[in-house]
Structure 1
Amino acid sequence: MKAKEISYVGLFAALTAIGAQIAIPIGTVPITFQVLFVLLSGLILGTRLGFLSQLVYLFMGAIGLPVFANFSGGFGHIYGPTGGYLLSFPVAAFLAGLISEKKKDIKNYAIGSAIGILTIYLLGWLRLGFFMGGDFEKAFLLGVAPFIPIDALKGGLAVLIADRVHKSIKI
């Protein structure tokens, strides 16, 4: 890997950690800006570097660095009720990057963002449902439904930022 690529990976891992600290607690799963930076890592860095940035973020949190919501860390978060959301981040970044790499335009950024958000919802909802003893309806109501409007806004913002970045600089 080139030094520039390592820097981008580190930057987006750090941005995701910062996004985790901008949190609004609404129950089991808080509203944070992690999703915005997960999407941006894929849309801007592409599949490989976006995936790696989120893997670095998860590794930092797993070893105990306080990068998860509320300045927390540790493997227990990955295993806990919100672990599915966390584990989905590298996959979501990869898929957002995969779609947007085909053609760097608003349409593909929007599709990539939507697929990234759906991936986060699916894996997060499944883990939360298992954690709640198989009550997937309750898990959906607590861990997905309240986030749809705000994540749609974050997805739209990610599309606009990615478009602007790609028009301004070559990554």
Structure 2
Amino acid sequence: MRARDVAFAGLFAALTAVGAQVSVPIGPVPITLQVLLVLLSGLVLGARLGFLSQLVYVVMGAVGLPVFANFHGGFAVLYGPTGGYIAAFPIAAFIAGYISEKTNGKTGMIGGSLIGVAVVYLLGWLRLGLFLGGDFHRALLIGVLPFVPLDIGKAALAALIATRVKKAVNLE
């Protein structure tokens, strides 16, 4: 792995931590910029480095660094209502990156991003449902449905930004 790769992976882990602090509480799951940055990490860095950047982010938070929303950190956050969403970040970055690498253009980027978001929703919904004592219907109502329109927009925005960043930084 080149030093440039390590630097970019670290940069996206740090950007995700910053994006987590842009937080609008609307219940147990806040609106943040994390999903946008997770998708960007996969689209800009590719599947392998995108995965690595988000794994670094999750590990930083798990060991107690205050990188999660509202400057929280520690393993308890991963065990809490938002833990499934956070745990899905490396997988979502990998999927977004993998699909965009296998298909060219913004359509592949948007498709990869939407599938990545779906993975975040799935794991987040499952963890939130367990946290709510098995009430998966309520978990869907408060942890997935309010976010769908915004996250579709984030997927499209991630594709637009990634295209420009890759050209500007000469990653294509």
Deviation, structure 1 residue 165: 1.9
Distance 2:73 2:87 in 1: 14
Give yes or no for the alignment of 1:134 onto 2:134.
yes
Corresponding residue number in structure 2 for 1:34 = 34
Amino acid at match of 1:48: R
Task: Using the aligned pairs only, state the percent identity.
Answer: 63
Q: Deviations over 1:104-160 (max 9, x none)?
A: 311100101100110100000011011111111000001001111111111111010
Structure 1's consecutive aligned runs of 4 or more residues displaced over 4 angstroms after TM superposition are none
Distance 2:118 2:133 in 1: 22
Give yes or no for the alignment of 1:88 onto 2:88.
yes
Corresponding residue number in structure 2 for 1:61 = 61
Corresponding residue number in structure 1 for 2:17 = 17
Give yes or no for the alignment of 1:78 onto 2:85.
no
Distance 2:104 2:9 in 1: 20
Corresponding residue number in structure 1 for 2:105 = 105
Amino acid at match of 1:65: L
SS at match of 2:117: helix
Distance 1:124 1:137, change over 3 A: same
Deviation, structure 1 residue 79: 1.0
Corresponding residue number in structure 1 for 2:151 = 151
Q: Deviations over 1:8-49 (max 9, x none)?
A: 010000000000000000000000000000000001101110
Amino acid at match of 1:14: A
Count of residue pairs the alignment pairs up: 171
TM-score (norm 1): 0.97
Distance 1:170 1:124 in 2: 34
Distance 1:20 1:128 in 2: 18
Deviation, structure 1 residue 167: 2.9
Corresponding residue number in structure 2 for 1:5 = 5
Distance 2:4 2:167 in 1: 19
Gaps in structure 2 of 5+ consecutive residues:
none
Distance 1:143 1:165 in 2: 31
**CA root-mean-square deviation:** 0.9
Gaps in structure 1 of 5+ consecutive residues:
none
Distance 2:133 2:66 in 1: 28
- Of stretches 96-105 and 27-36 in structure 1, the one that deviates more from structure 2 is 96-105
